[in-house]
Amino acid sequence: MPRPLLPQTIAALEREFTVHKLWEAKDPDAAMAQIAGLVRFIAAGAHAPVDEALIKALPKLELVANFGVGYDSVDAAAAARHGVVVTNTPDVLNEEVADVALGLLIATAREFPQADRYLREGKWLKSAYPLTRGTLRGRTLGIVGLGRIGKAIAKRAEAFGLKIAYHSRRRQADSPYAYYPTLLELAEAVDTLMLIVPGGAETRNMVNAEVLKALGPNGILINMARGTVVDEAALAEALASGQILAAGLDVFADEPNVPASLIGLANTVLLPHIGSASVHTREAMGQLLIDNLVSWRDGKGPLTPVPETPWPRA
């Protein structure tokens, strides 16, 4: 285990396996050299990169169990080349993340955090909070990435009366929503963008200055994906100039470091990556990570392998 996971997840793992806690070692390199010939599994979180060098350093490695549905911190292609399976924790966090996504959208449009500060600072005693330009009324939500979580978000958004459109790598035949083959076309057609795509090189800075300009002055951007999906400098400029109305961000490119250019803006709502961060959901994610490891150890194969390392192997 390169970095700590939840205490209850660590305790459960220790009941099933010998767990080497790399972060506790005074000399991590020496510790790695000592255990390299023993390690069969890696239990990794979002902030514990598993690159090809680490995979090659562990000749008996069989499986990397990733804590989280996103696994861009794991070089899954390299794992596949070395015959190592990678698993993640899909589905168990869909509803939690979708709840936060809609909550963040509402809070951003109606300025909940700003209004809360207004009251706490005693300003309501002098005058009512200004009417918000933002509202959900009449909005069209463009979902970028209509996967499991994207569909859960769409279901909630429909209940709020929003029109739905989407952009994904391919059209989904069973989807009732309008499909746009490019992100730019989607941004031109909607006034609200909800990002819920994987991170990585393919999606890096996909929301750039051109996309933000297309979203327009009534536009709201919500990022529940990865911070790398958005050009943060371009976003800060678009927000400061009024090119778009507001942004709600749960993720950032260099977490936990958040650009001062975003923190200093009044038209942002910024969350410390809490999409799945409830005790209930994080425990479920930890259990699925453990279940993948136990299933593999017991000869039953992985439960939730990622597409790069399918099971049974192609």
**Residues marked as catalytic:** 226, 255, 273
| Helix H or strand E encompassing 184 | helix 183-189
Half-sphere exposure of 138 (CA within 13 A, CB side): 5
Q: How far is it, in rounded angstroms, from Cα 180 to Cα 220?
A: 18
The order of strands in the sheet holding 140-144 is 178-179, 163-167, 140-144, 192-195, 220-223, 246-249, 268-270
β-sheet bridge partners, residue 41: 63
What are the Cα distances from residue 213, in Å, to 104, 167, 190, 224?
22, 17, 12, 20
Give the integer Cα–Cα distance in Å for 99 and 159: 12
Do the beta carbons of residue 222 and residue 107 sit within 8 Å?
no
- CA 86/CA 37 separation, integer angstroms: 19
Contact 40, 62 (CB under 8 A): yes
